[in-house]
Structure 1
Amino acid sequence: MGKQYPTISADTQAFIEQQHIFFVGTAAADGRVKISPKGQDTLRVLDANRVAWLNLTGSGNETAAHLLEVNRIPLMWCAFEGKPNILRLYGTATVYHPRDAEWAELLPLFPPLPGSRQIVVVTVDLVQTSCGMAVPSFDYRAERDELNHSMEPRGPKQVAQYWHNCHVRSLDGKLTSI
């Protein structure tokens, strides 16, 4: 049976920190819904009602576009190892870029990763757990490093140019924040 809580407990934080992958969902008022897997060491629990993740350069920038229009976001974790569990955090988000003062405060929380483009801070208003008994078990082998290897040789100027060439608009033509 699912349970709901107003804050991130110590047990919930421990569960989050043990997971190797989480999922982010966003949607604008109309158009496509986006669900994106996130990995590497890119998420931190800041306090009982806030988490932050370092958003890396990928194939699009849908999350940023959606949040500009409709500021709501869920994050989800599934226990693929050990005791079954699904955890969702619901809330609103603030997106910080390298040009923002908050970037300099938050960036040291994460390892240096090439292509880091945004830090998304989610203010959590609902924590929900559910059983996860139908989620299959998987064994974790390793992080993939292809994204890092594709961004490293480009350097910051070429990555920024890539953002301007490829990430100015969402799949539905909505402006993003880069």
Structure 2
Amino acid sequence: MFIIKQTNTLKLTVTALLTAIAIAIPMVMPIRVLIEPASFTLASHVPIFFAMFLSPAIAVAVSLGSAIGFLLAGFPIVITMRAMSHVVFALIGALYLSGRREEVLSSPVKSVFFSFWIALIHALAEVLVVSVFFFGLAPGGTYQDGFFYAVFLLVGVGTVIHSMVDFLIAQVVWKSLGKRMNQIAVKVS
């Protein structure tokens, strides 16, 4: 006889819901800026941050779902690959938050420090992806602007700002959901 633990069902359900949201955001979000190779879709990282608050496995799954969302929304391949690179910051951030979530999220100083630190990792991964396209190592990158503007400023600095804004949104929503989210987090981690 096969018995599914309630925790596994909850983990699967939460992962599926966050993944569905991560796929839908790039497809339906009305607030987005597209200046290739950069794109900024408001709240596109929020499901990933929520997943990071829960567990590394959920963070990776939701990150992959987000990349699928960007692909299905018809974004250029460089932007879809940037979304795929989210697996890097999501996994690192989730591993760091394992056992420290409440400590980081309850302290304004620690949460800003974490947000900035993870945004730098996020930006570095995206800059590496875009650099491959910029230097012609992958097809699809024909940028008229120089490396400093197109890759460093638009993608690098832009990603740090975008990541920190989305982290703040995720943190505010998480806190507004209160004790229930912490109970779910304990069950799925």
Q: TM-score, normalising length from structure 2?
A: 0.30
Larger strand proportion of the pair: 1
Larger helix proportion of the pair: 2
